[in-house]
Amino acid sequence: MLAFAAATACSQHRPVAETTVNEAIRCIYAGDVRSTQQLFNDDVRDTITPDSVDRLSRLMHAFGDYLDVKQIAATSGRRYDLEAQFANSSMLVQLKLDPAGKIAALHLIPNVPHIDFKTHT
């Protein structure tokens, strides 16, 4: 019981951007179009289609099990950068929230292996 209370207390202090992105990623990962759409504001909601959710879900599954998300930056205008961790890789997540707390923009940028460019000397 104590572990549950501690986990609940920790989740209450999580930044709103982390909570929102965590829910969005879990919905997309599960292929749940309706729940995904409900997280977005009216201006964006109609662009969330079964095909778009399916494509993102397949990409996420290729990265392995979804683990968690952590906010790495916040800027003015309710814009946030987060890192979503998967078992085999990560993604940069760029989020913009509207004043009501709905997602106004969400960009997922998969982490690709580092390329070491060498210059000729």
**Lowest-pLDDT range, 4-18, 52-66, 82-96?**
4-18
Residue 117 resides in a domain:
no
Residue 28 is predicted with a pLDDT of: 98
Residue 91 resides in a domain:
yes
Of 5-9, 60-64, 74-78, the range with the highest mean pLDDT is 60-64
Residue 113 is predicted with a pLDDT of: 60
**Domain range enclosing 52:** 2-110
Percent of residues, the chain, with pLDDT higher than 90: 77
Count of domains forming the chain: 1
Residue 8 is predicted with a pLDDT of: 45
Contact by Cβ (8 Å): 103, 97: yes
- Measure the CA–CA gap between 66 and 24, rounded to whole angstroms: 12
Residue 117 is predicted with a pLDDT of: 56
CATH number for the domain that contains residue 47: 3.10.450.590
Residue 21 resides in a domain:
yes
Residue 96: CB atoms within 10 Å:
17
Residue 100 is predicted with a pLDDT of: 95
Of 4-8, 45-49, 75-79, 109-113, the range with the highest mean pLDDT is 45-49
Q: In this model, does residue 10 exceed pLDDT 90?
A: no
**Lowest-pLDDT range, 10-19, 70-79, 88-97, 102-111?**
10-19
| Angle in degrees, 0-180, between the axes of helices 50-62 and 16-29, rounded to the nearest 10 | 100
Helix (H) or strand (E) holding 82, with range, is strand 79-86
- Identity of the amino acid at 81: D
Residue 82 resides in a domain:
yes
Give the full edge-to-edge strand order of the sheet including 90-97. Answer: 66-75, 79-86, 90-97, 103-110
